[in-house]
A and B are shown apart, each in its own frame.
Chain A
Amino acid sequence: MPIRETFWNIPHWAEIAQYILAAVTIFVFLYGVGRRILRWRKGRPEKRTSQFWKRIRSAIVQVVVQRRTLEETYPGIMHFTIFWGMLVLAFGTALATVDWDVTHLFFGFQILTGWVYILFELALDILGLLVIVGLGMAIYRRYVTRPVRLQNFPVKGLAGDDLYVLLMLSFIAISGYLTEGLRLAVTQPDWAVWSPVGQLIAGAFLALGDPNNQTLHLAIWILHILTAFIILISLPFTKLFHIFSVPLNIFFRSLEPVGALPPARSDVGPGVKEWRQFTWKQLLDFESCTRCGRCQDVCPAFAGAGVLSPRDLMVKLEAHLWERNGRSLHGDVISNEELWACTTCRACSQVCPAFIDHIATFVDMRRFLVDQGSMDSTLQTALVNLGRYGNSFGQSDRMRAKWTANLQPPVKDARREPVEYLWFVGDYASYSPTLSDVTRKTCEVFQKAGLNFGILFDAERNSGNDVRRVGEEGIFEMLAEKNMQALSKCKFETIVTTDPHTYNTLKNEYSFNGNGRPQILHYTELLTRLIASGQLKFSRKLDYTVTYHDPCYLGRYNGIYDAPRNVLRATGCTQVEMPRHGDRGFCCGAGGGRIWMEEKPGKERPSEIRIREAAALEGVQTFVVACPKDVTMFRDAVKTTGNENRLQVKELMELVHEAL
């Protein structure tokens, strides 16, 4: 009758010692976990308990299915096998403990008998093997392949932590099999075949003819137990802590739309000056980082000037929470340069398996820098202009609608007459001389589609999206107030905008003073509807082969990927996707106020990297964008990379206009 012979060959003293050590382990473990939790609680309060079941579901899905981790195949499978393998093995040990110390001890029976035991043995053997495969994959990747994102950590000792974890887990798995193999070699039960790996090892020992298998068994068993306890004791003090912090981080993540930044806290001054001013959730973010480096791989600032690595920021912040050397957050730990380098494109948070919100932390620290006036002079000029003139160009607000001069039929003034669509034009489309052509074409397209639309003329102000992300909350509020005031005086059904940044903030951050938010559409959404309803017809089919660049604030921030592609298809263009498309789109580098800042000399600008990516696609002649800042950035990059004869940059609206 198959039954688990718990503690076979284990002398009584070892059994007792094991229980004592277990108690010590649990005690230290709880202390370690508690210490971490207390540290998070030093942060400022924040409510993150809404929609409880949605949170539970999402945490379970991510932990069980490992959906986000599996977005990258090799590391995903590697982690999945290690995780599930170790989890089942740990569960198996727990079951064995219950089997021996509860049911056997108190109730005189064992669960792990008969076919239950057989299945138990088989499952553990196979999963143990998976763990070893997974660990093998991990060791190979980390020490042979050596991907960039696992190198050069900014804090000492982390590489040692990584090695420690891999070694300990490997040792546990291997020593586990050895123990089992040695036991099977000696006891040779009939059901040994259900522990295939164990049996294999047993065979090896028998072949060696070792009479001291029992001694060896005890020795390895002791080592195995000690390793297990060491792992558990060290868990809260090593990378393994992510087993706790990550599911918690997923549970407590923000369920607000990603396009809505948390407001500035007014209680202790704007922004974060020192780490205790972060919220507890932000501190949890830092502690959830496993240094996987996926964020660094997708970061345009890292790829370009190399000044900023979101991974490094998280790693440094985590270490900083535990420092006792009096270093200050700003300047010593995190440099101003790093903070200003972020384009707020959200590629980092999009790929992070721990669901860390990097952007909220960067912006909070930027808010402090703005409060101190620590910024380069070009940004200062832009902010002063935004505050005074409502646009970053430093031009009079009266010049905003200059592009409408001499247009026939004249553009309607939404301040004076009711319209169906209020077109929020945006700064760049209004003021930039290189874009006035596209703006006029947009006007013509709207007119040809028979839309009843109007604009705010001089009453429009910069929507404030990037002002907010730069950290100037005060000017953002002022601009939003002015815009909302102007809008409240108009009669319209829908707001349509040609700028994704404007779209993002109008849709997610403007409160509209509690009067109910009007419907807000990006022009690609509107055009999709008009094409579907037949209101917008194309008279010709364009035969360009194009590639479409997903704007960060349209794609990742607001999930609009299909509408622009539908419109492109409708114009007849053939579309080829760049490797990094959709929610993996690579940022042009202008967001987060970067277009208002001085560029640091670097190997390449993000926009140049992106153009090269497009130029590598065979047959593609046109690079299509749906954001005015993209037009500026990419036209420049085409020139500086010498691709003028290879690629042309077109706003999607230009193609629509051409196909009319």
Chain B
Amino acid sequence: MSQTLFVVIEHLRGQVAEISYVMLAAARQLAKSAGGDVVAVLLGQNAQELAASLAADRVLYMEDASLAEFTSDAYQAALAALIKEHNPRVVLFGHSSLGMDIASGLSAKLGLPVISSCRSFSTDGKFICQICGGKIMAEGEIPAPTALITMVPGGYKSELGRSTQAPPVTPIAAPALDGLRVSVKNYIEPEAGDVDIAKEAVLVSVGRGIQTKDNLDLANELAGALGAAVSASRPVVDQGWLPTSRLVGKSGKRVKPKIYLALGISGAPEHVEGMSDSQVIIAINTDPNAPIFNVAKFGSTIDMFDLVPALTEKVKSAK
């Protein structure tokens, strides 16, 4: 009996999260080197259709009213039972608000090792984790017999995790889920911004390097001249200088514009997650060691306060 590679599918409000496809792509690659079946684990209520796009060998679908919304204790209890029964080789979780709530808990509960921030697997089946703001990579053998792994995006294209052929779905019974202490009361949608940055073709994105709220005017002017929108990384949104609707990154939006102009953004993984699929990334940062230069196609260490006005001028006269 070949080993199984579990992928815990993350879904919210009827949508499968991007990270799930990334994990499936990772699992498929791992299956090639280490062997095994890629098994997607889908928990929920009336959520079977979500299985259709998953590039898995098969899908285990567990339905229960308590699993309708994601809650840490219901999912954790359900998965604990599943893992104990099937003893998969690995269980992949997203390094996210869903996955991180349950992976470590399961590790303690089941006495299994947990590896976090895994970005990819090597061709010889080792895990490669990305830590310390993306500055350090850690590699190692996946411990036997079962390892829990939380994954960050960036190592695999999510398309490789999608499938046009729906995999076979096996319904499984949920264990008794009582004594639950966590329940979802309601959801709050993000404030509808004036602009949906995910639909823009060109984004002028600002980071900590913009320094003050007033300097946003520079970015606004450039964006205006380009017919683009202004987006931002977390530090700018945390200060309240731009609404969360403009946030690009892990907790914000994922964008794929034609051009992503990153001004004063260091390139922390949480941000890169949100824009790495852009066609052309141009990064401006005075720090030559900024990680953003590893993602960008073009870069310059010129001071953005020198560049942006000059660029705005040229764009205006070019139009």
Which residues from chain B contact A433 at a C-beta distance below 8 Å?
A: 286, 303
Q: Which of A377, A434, A601, A636 is B239 in contact with, Cβ under 8 Å?
A: A377
Q: How far is the CB of A585 from chain B (nearest CB, A)?
A: 25
Q: In whole Å, how far is A608's beta carbon from the nearest beta carbon of chain B? A: 13
User: Which among B213, B286, B306, B309 is the interface contact of A598 at CB below 8 angstroms?
Assistant: B213
The reply to whether B211 and A434 form a contact with Cβ atoms under 8 Å apart is: no
Distance between Cα atoms of A377 and B213 in the complex (Å): 11
Bound Cα distance from A640 to B303, whole angstroms: 15
Q: How far is the CB of A437 from chain B (nearest CB, A)?
A: 13
Please count how many residues in chain A sit with their CB below 8 Å of the partner chain's CB atoms: 9
Q: Is the CB of B214 within 8 A of A598?
A: yes
CB distance from A524 to the nearest CB of B (A): 28
Asked if B286 contacts A378 (CB within 8 A), the reply is no
Partner of A599, one of B212, B286, B305, B306: B212
Is A639's CB within 8 Å of the partner chain B? yes
Chain A residues positioned under 8 Å from B305 (CB to CB): 636
B171-212 with Cβ < 8 A to chain A: 211-212
Q: A434-B303, A636-B305, A639-B309 are in contact. Are A378 and B214 (CB under 8 A)?
A: no
Taken together as a complex, chains A and B put the C-alpha atoms of A437 and B211 apart, in Å, by 23
C-beta contact mask, A252-283 vs B, less than 8 Å → 1, else 0? 00000000000000000000000000000000
* B211 contacts A378, C-beta separation under 8 Å: yes
Q: Which residue of A lies closest to B306 (CB)?
A: A639
A residues 318-335 near B (Cβ < 8 Å) are none
Question: Which A-chain residue is minimally distant from B213 (CB atoms)?
Answer: A598
Chain B interface SS verdict (over half)? loop
A391 to chain B, nearest CB (A): 16
- 1/0 contact trace for A375-400 toward B, CB 8 Å? 00110000000000000000000000
Please, which residues of chain B bring their CB within 8 A of the CB of A601?
214
Q: Shortest beta-carbon distance, A368 to chain B, in Å?
A: 25
Instruction: List, in ascending order, chain A residues with CB within 8 A of B211's CB.
Output: 378
Residue of A nearest to B214 (CB): A599
Cβ distance B36 to chain A, nearest Cβ, rounded Å: 46
- Which residue from chain B places its CB closest to the CB of A599 in the assembled complex? B214
Q: Mark B277-297, 1 if CB is under 8 A from A, else 0.
A: 000000000100000000000
Bound-state CA distance A168–B26 (Å) is 92
Q: How far is the CB of B263 from chain A (nearest CB, A)?
A: 16
Give residues 583-620 of A contacting B (CB, 8 Å). 598-599, 601
Distance A639 CA – B303 CA, assembled complex (angstroms): 13
Contact yes or no, A378 B309, CB < 8 A: no
Distance in angstroms from A166 CB to nearest chain B CB is: 44
Min CB distance A403 to B, Å, is: 14
**Nearest neighbor of B211 in chain A, beta-carbon distance:** A378
C-alpha gap A433/B306 in the complex (Å): 13
Q: Tell me, rounded to whole Å, the shortest Cβ–Cβ distance linking B11 to chain A.
A: 37
A639 to B307, CA, bound (A): 12
Residues 352-380 of A at the B interface (beta carbon under 8 Å): 377-378
- State in angstroms the CA–CA spacing of A434 and B303 once bound together: 9
Give which listed residue, B212, B303, B306, contacts A378 with CB less than 8 A: B212
| Contact yes or no, B303 A598, CB < 8 A | no
Contacts of A639 in B (CB 8 A): 306, 309
Contacts of A599 in B (CB 8 A): 212, 214
Least CB distance from A392 to B in Å reads 12
> Residue on B with the closest CB to A636?
B305
Chain B residues with CB under 8 Å of A377's CB are: 239
Contacts of B303 in A (CB 8 A): 433-434
Chain A hits for B212, CB < 8 A:
378, 598-599
- Give every chain A residue within 8 A of B286 (Cβ-Cβ): 433
A residues 236-264 near B (Cβ < 8 Å) are none
Residue of B nearest to A598 (CB): B212
Nearest A residue (CB) for B309: A639
Q: Which residues of A contact B239 (CB under 8 A)?
A: 377
Q: Shortest CB–CB separation between residue B234 and chain A, in angstroms?
A: 14
Q: Which residue of A lies closest to B301 (CB)?
A: A433
Q: How far is the CB of A401 from chain B (nearest CB, A)?
A: 18
CB distance from A466 to the nearest CB of B (A): 17
Distance A639 CA – B214 CA, assembled complex (angstroms): 16
> Chain B residues with Cβ under 8 A from A636's Cβ?
305
In the assembled complex, how far is the CB of residue B258 from the closest CB belonging to chain A, in whole angstroms?
A: 30
**What is the bound-complex CA distance between A194 and B286, given in angstroms?**
82
Residues 385-423 of chain A, each 1 if its beta carbon lies under 8 Å from chain B, else 0 = 000000000000000000000000000000000000000
- Which residue of chain A is the closest to B239 with respect to CB atoms? A377
CB distance from B28 to the nearest CB of A (A): 42
Give the distance in Å from the alpha carbon of A433 to the alpha carbon of B305 in the complex. Answer: 13
CA distance A445 to B213 in the complex (A): 39
In chain A, positions 491-535 with a C-beta closer than 8 Å to chain B are none
Q: Find chain A residues with CB under 8 A from B214 CB.
A: 598-599, 601
B238 to A: closest C-beta gap in Å: 9
A222–B9 CA distance with the chains assembled, in angstroms:
101
Enumerate the 10 nearest inter-chain pairs by beta-carbon distance, A residue then B residue, closest first: A598-B212, A599-B214, A433-B286, A377-B239, A599-B212, A601-B214, A598-B213, A378-B212, A639-B309, A434-B303
Name 15 interchain pairs, CB-CB below 8 A, sorted by A.
Answer: A377-B239, A378-B211, A378-B212, A433-B286, A433-B303, A434-B303, A598-B212, A598-B213, A598-B214, A599-B212, A599-B214, A601-B214, A636-B305, A639-B306, A639-B309
